[in-house]
Each structure stands twice: as structure tokens, then as C-alpha cells.
Structure 1
């Protein structure tokens, strides 16, 4: 099994003491999670998500722990989701704290997600995150923050130091767990994980050159001490998203090597 550079800070036993029981619907018994980000429809029809119900069904069949989705997709694919964990994406044109938590509770979601942009001179959304976390805490609703230094387009700002600071700022604002960009070496990303006050999940980011590259990122993140991954395009745009999920599950939960997990991508039909 893969040996982590850092001790896992919160074991399954420690998770039991968390006040938000919904966290157990996102993280498996080993305290790790494979999450499929399926919220790209917020911008319209997205690759791999044209048939939202079928996309959710295949990913759930692969053994994903939780799905990140808009309220529209979650409603449409409620039957396919079944008991799989659900994180509602709250990224919006208006502040979401005033409606997001109640909407999530009514629908039966297990967590909320909000993107923030520390260092952005126009809007960081950290204030919105603080307000959302305070309201969510009243309902026992976990919040996952996705902190992107400055913006998605400002790649020069996505340094190890900035990603670490952004993750820590999100935790300080009240986020229960954070999905962060995997940056630098395994050792450097281990520093990002160590300096954050809450569990860190590695986000998949842009489509990788090959599925094996996406698996390698997951393995590196786990080695660095991350508690799992949140993959969007690298799952939903794969010709067999169910097999991609199954391979990620083997790495994140089973401690499989990249080579062993990659064998699940194209098994004999």
C-alpha cells in the first residue's frame, strides 16, 4: 500500500466525533473520498454531461463516494444517485448563504461547495464563505471550499505558497474540508496538507494528457497526505467514467499502485 508522507490526521474513529454526521456520507469509513465533480452544467451543456442522468448512473456504478452537482442535476438524477453522497455546488451570481443552506437541507444534501479566490483584487468571496459557514454550522451542514489563488486564468498565481495560503484561509473561514490544486512536488504538496486545519482533497483540474496521468496525480496526492480527490473532466469526459472511478477508488481506498489501478481502465469486455 502507498505510504503517506504525513500521518493521516483524522482516522475513522476521529470522524465519529465530528458534529456533522453528514460528513460520513461524503467520506468512506477509512476517512478518504473519491468525489466526481459534475457541476460544469452551471455554464450550460458540458462534455460528458449532456445526458446527466446516464452520466450520474455510470459514475455511481463505478463506486464513487460522492457527487458534486448543481441542484438541477441533483433533482434530475436523484434516482440514479440513490444513497451516494451529494455535495451541492453553490457558485452563483449572488451570495449564496441566504438560500443555499436551507435548499441543501430541504433536498437532503450532505455538504455544500463554494469557490473562493484569495488574492483577487476585485472579489475574493472569502466573506461569502464565512457567512455561508456560519449559517451552515447552525444546521450541521458541512462546507467544502475550493480556493483558487486570484483566478483560474492567472496560472502564475498558482504557486505552492499561494495554494497553501488559500487552503488555510478557507479553513480559517470555517470550511470543513478543502479541495485544492495539486501543485509542486509530493513533498511540497504535503506542506499544503500539513498547514491546512481541515482535510484536503486534490482537485483534478484540466483534462490530463492520458488517464494514467490522472491516476498518477491521485497517487501523488494520497502520498502527500491528501484525503482523496475531486475529479471533474478527468472522470466525466473519459469514455468509460465508471472504470475511471473504479481505478481511482483502488488508489484512494485500496492503496493500489498506478500500474495496478490502470488495468481497470480497459479490462477485457
Structure 2
């Protein structure tokens, strides 16, 4: 089945995509909304600089889709909510998908929906809940030809890692969870970088031709972010999904422009860093 909506996600020249994730408020963690308190302003900034897509929730998608014209970024719709990021963890953990998410994605003119596949040490019930959500979403996504992005997320134990998006970049674990996402019917994969970036080609290979977009994770300096981006693209990634490294950056427009230049023009790290500086002036 052809998923024509993806024609609006990937750049027609480079075949790559930058999806800016701004769905953090869905998870109910106070630290996650730093830099995105004013969502209308955040979306206006992103629309002005023009990434390929913005990842939003059902409650916030209106800020993007109410912008007139054809040139605005595409919408990727987050479909599930969980409480697995706190430290300490709540006594009762959950992960739920929105039952009508695919129909809502059609109404909102999204190009894809995104759902988690989490491996949290000591809490297999969360992975079970994610698999059940993915299977339910897959049935509806097929019916409406809506691309399904699965986010395999290998997490560290929150008690020892300090909570938040503390991921485990062990290559074998990442490869295994990515493969499970493919087996569950992913049209797109949103995966973490491996700790050893030289291993990332193994992630691409196990995805078997399914486009892999790489998560940004926690805040890092600009050079580290750009060098990591170049490395995963060289390994065969089809794009990136960055959130805090853009929305919490001193110049969200500058770092977005730099990343777009790396993705679509093949710009090197040093030239991209200069671009960030120019935007900051």
C-alpha cells in the first residue's frame, strides 16, 4: 500500500526529514515543558524557520494546522501518553493510546502518527501496554492509509539514571527493540542513537528498509549534536526527530536552520555552526 502522506514528510531532493518534537507536555512532567510554556509562540517560531514536520498532540495540533498556506511544516501526531519519566516513579505506571487517534489524525491532516514501544527495566507491563496500543493503532492506520511511526525506546532504570529521558544506548538492546517495531508493522522508526555511533548501521540494517529517524535525547552542545547528526546520516538514517535540543536552544531558529542545511544540503559541521551564530546575531 502506498502511503502518499509521506510525500509531505520527506524532502523531495534529499529524501530526508527533520521532525521537531514538541509533544512533551502530554507526559505530565514539570521539567518537560521548559521552553515550551507558550505553545503558540513556539509553533510560530518553528513555522517561520520551516522544518519538515512538527510533532504535536491532539490538544496542540491546532496551533500548526490553523496556519494558512501550503508551506508550513507537516504535522506528526503523538498518539499515546505515559507516566514513566518521573523520579521516583509513581506506584501505578500506565501507558494509553488515544482510542480515536487515527481518525483524529485524518481530520487534522497529519502525515503520520507516533506511538511508543518502551523497554523499562523491571516494568514489562509497560511494554505489554505499548504492544497492545500499537496493534490497535496498526489496524486503524491501515484502514485510513495513515503512516505509523513506532518509537522503540530502551530506557535506563529511572532510580539510578535520575529520571527523564535517560536512555540505554546498548547496541544489542536498541537493535532488538527496533526489530520488534518492524515486526509490529512500523511504517517509520524513531530510534535512539547507539552509544557507539559506529554501530548505527546495524540499526539501519535490522530495520530492513523501513525509514529510521533518530531521536535527539537530552540537551548537548551544538557541535556534539551536529556531529552526531552527520554520523547517523552517514550510517543510513532517513532523518532526525529532535525536541529539547531545538526548543530549549538559545536560538531555536538558528539550530533548526543548521540542522536543515546538514540534512538537505550536506553542509558540514563547521559551516553549520557558523549558521547558528549568524541567526543568533
Q: Is the 8 A contact 1:97 1:131 kept in 2?
A: no
Distance in 2, matches of 1:258 and 1:32, equals 17
Q: Which has the higher contact order (CA 8 A, sep 6+)?
A: 1
Q: Does 1:133 align with 2:144?
A: no
Q: Give the corresponding residue for 1:123.
A: 126
Aligned to 2:23: 39
Corresponding residue number in structure 2 for 1:112:
113
The alignment partner of 1:129 has SS state of helix
Q: Take 1:50 and 1:98, find their aligned partners in 2: how far apart are those partners? A: 27
- Within the candidate set 14, 20, 25, 2:8 is matched to 25
State the alpha-carbon separation in 1 of the partners of residues 68 and 182 from structure 2: 28
Structure 1 Cα separation of the partners of residues 149 and 142 of structure 2: 12
**Separation (CA, whole Å) in 2 of partners of 1:90 and 1:158:** 24
Answering whether residue 79 of structure 2 is matched by residue 90 of structure 1, we say yes
Matched, 1:264 2:252: no
Per-residue deviation, 1:102: 0.8
Aligned mates of 1:110, 1:156 — CA distance in 2: 27
Residue of structure 2 in register with 1:9 after alignment = none
Aligned residues: 251
Which residue matches 2:55? 68
**Could you say what secondary structure the match of 2:81 adopts?**
coil
Deviation at 1:123, TM superposition (A): 2.0
Contact residue 60 and residue 242 of structure 1 kept, 8 A: no
Equivalent residues of 1:134, 1:174 under 8 A apart? no
Deviation at 1:250, TM superposition (A): 0.9
Give the aligned CA root-mean-square deviation in angstroms.
Answer: 2.1
In the alignment, which residue of structure 2 is the partner of 1:167? 178
SS at match of 2:33: coil
- From the superposition, tell whether residues 156 and 145 of structure 1 become closer, same or farther in structure 2 (CA, over 3 Å): closer
Structure 2's unaligned 5+ residue stretches are: 83-94
The 5 A counterparts of 1:231-250 are: 231-250=242-261
* 1:201 corresponds to 2:188: no
User: Is the 1:52–1:77 contact (alpha carbons within 8 Å) kept by the matching residues of 2?
Assistant: no
Task: Tell me the SS of whatever aligns to 2:80.
Answer: coil
d(CA) in 2 for partners of 1:175, 1:55: 29
